[in-house]
Every structure is written in C-alpha cells, then in structure tokens.
Amino acid sequence: MDIYPLDSDKIYYSGDWLTLDSEDGEKTLRVGEWLNTDPVRIHKMIIKDKVLQVDPIEVFNPLISKLRRADFSYYKRIMGLKMLIDYPGYSSGVEARIPYDIDPVGFYKWWRKGKHEHLVHLSTAYQLKLFQKVATADPKVILKKDVEFLQSF
C-alpha cells in the first residue's frame, strides 16, 4: 500500500489518505476512517499539536460527534462549558455556559451540590471564577472544600 505522510500545510477531507504510526507499524486509512479508529488522537493532532488541518464541516464536526461516543470523559473535558445540559428552567438542552454566566449561584447549587459534576467539566480557572462569584453573592451556599480551594490561591 502507498504511504501518505502527514502534510501540515494541507487541509484534509474525509476521503483523503493519511499514514500514521500505530501499534502494528504504519497504517494508512482515509481521514474519515481515522475518525472511527482513533478519534482522540486525531482531535489532539488538530487542536493540541496543531499538525493536522481538516475541513470543519466534513471532518471536524463529525469528529466531535464520534468523540462523544468513543471517549465521553475526554469529550466532556474538551467541551467544558459548551456541554449541553438539562438545567432547571430551560425546556431543552442548554449550553452550561448560559446558567454559569447568568446565575452562578444557581449553577453552583446544580453542579456541585446537585451532584452534577460528572456532566460538566470545569477547568481550575472556571472553578475559581465560579467559586469567587458564589462566595461573594451568597457565602452561606459555598461548601467548605470550595472555600479552602479559594484560599489556596
């Protein structure tokens, strides 16, 4: 089979061939097949390493959908506040960012006290902002462990 090394200047579409190292040596697949075979690796090559450029509609959007099914914890981390959640007061899924920004105390109660931490990943920076807002707006709501987290900065 032919070898198709990564060309970081090229924009890849799902039908383009790409050769990558694998546990079994070099492996050549179409980009669309790589999305099924190793979606986390492909996502990291695009976002973290910035060595793979892909068409946003034909490759990147389907990749995000495949990540959700392939590795939900990774998906949750990359989505962060863009994660769609069922939140009280909204008729259907809403981006977590909306209640986080509009009603930080309510979001905190839902997320931390309502035991929904497994649904939305908040980076340390977003936790810090949230805890600061809650501590200022309604100090009796914030949990002791979160006050201690704030004091550690």
Taking 90 as the threshold, does the pLDDT of residue 30 lie above it?
yes
Burial class (CB in 10 A: 0-12, 13-18, 19+), 17: middle
- Sequence length of the chain is 153
Burial class (CB in 10 A: 0-12, 13-18, 19+), 71: middle
Is 0.85 topped by the overall pTM? no
Quote the percentage of the chain above a pLDDT of 90. Answer: 86
Taking 90 as the threshold, does the pLDDT of residue 113 lie above it?
no
Taking 80 as the threshold, does the pLDDT of residue 1 lie above it?
no
Taking 90 as the threshold, does the pLDDT of residue 51 lie above it?
yes
Cβ atoms within 10 A of the Cβ of 10, count?
A: 12
**CA distances for 45 relative to 9, 100, 121, angstroms:** 13, 30, 21
